[in-house]
């Protein structure tokens, strides 16, 4: 048994020494920085990626009014994406308590968005005035594609 361990140990030491002597072709730059792709929420809220970089949902909580606003955005969070829905259903879990939220579609005369053809949804709930952090899920259909049980975490 000892005769099997010595050759294996010798090969392991040689491989380690050979790796130490190799020049690292990747030194001098940060791989994470090169591949990191960050988007900024246009309203200062929290962005939730939907699909594989297909869309984003921005959530913004206004503590003074207890209002939660959601906007559906494109994959780069630069353009609004209208959907054919009058509501957006979220299931929030403040303090681990199952809390369904039905956000209502918002019409916007300046953009021409109407209820049933809008990117913005809102709800007011008193518990949103004091609950800062909570998680949840939502299901959403955008342009005929259904995204189910998308997770979110609101920290602001």
Query: What CATH number is given to the structural domain containing 133?
Result: 2.60.40
Is residue 3 situated within a structural domain?
A: no
* pLDDT at residue 21 tops 70: no
Is residue 108 situated within a structural domain?
A: yes
**Predicted pLDDT at 54:** 95
How many distinct structural domains can be found in the chain? 1
Is residue 65 situated within a structural domain?
A: yes
Contact assessment for residue 39 and residue 50, using Cβ atoms and an 8 Å cutoff: no
Distance between CA atoms of residues 70 and 85, nearest Å:
13
Distance between CA atoms of residues 17 and 7, nearest Å:
15
- Sign, CA dihedral 140-146-152-156, equals negative
Assign 42 a pLDDT band (cuts: 50, 70, 90): confident
For the segment 80-131, what is each residue's pLDDT rounded down to a tens digit?
999 999 999 999 999 889 999 999 999 998 889 999 999 999 999 999 999 9
């Amino acid at each position: 048994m000892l005769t099997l361990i010595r050759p294996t140990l010798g090969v392991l030491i040689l491989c380690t020494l050979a790796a130490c002597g190799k020049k690292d072709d990747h030194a001098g730059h940060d791989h994470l920085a090169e591949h990191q792709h960050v988007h900024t929420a246009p309203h200062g809220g929290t962005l939730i990626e939907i699909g594989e970089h297909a869309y984003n949902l921005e959530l913004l909580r206004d503590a003074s009014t207890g209002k939660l606003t959601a906007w559906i955005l494109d994959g780069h969070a630069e353009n609004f994406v209208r959907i054919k829905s009058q509501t957006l259903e979220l299931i929030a879990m403040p303090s681990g308590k199952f809390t369904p939220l039905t956000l209502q579609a918002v019409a916007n005369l300046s953009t021409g968005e109407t209820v049933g053809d809008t990117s913005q949804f809102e709800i007011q709930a008193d518990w949103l005035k004091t609950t800062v952090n909570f998680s949840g899920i939502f299901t959403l259909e955008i342009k005929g594609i259904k995204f189910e049980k998308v997770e979110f975490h609101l920290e602001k």
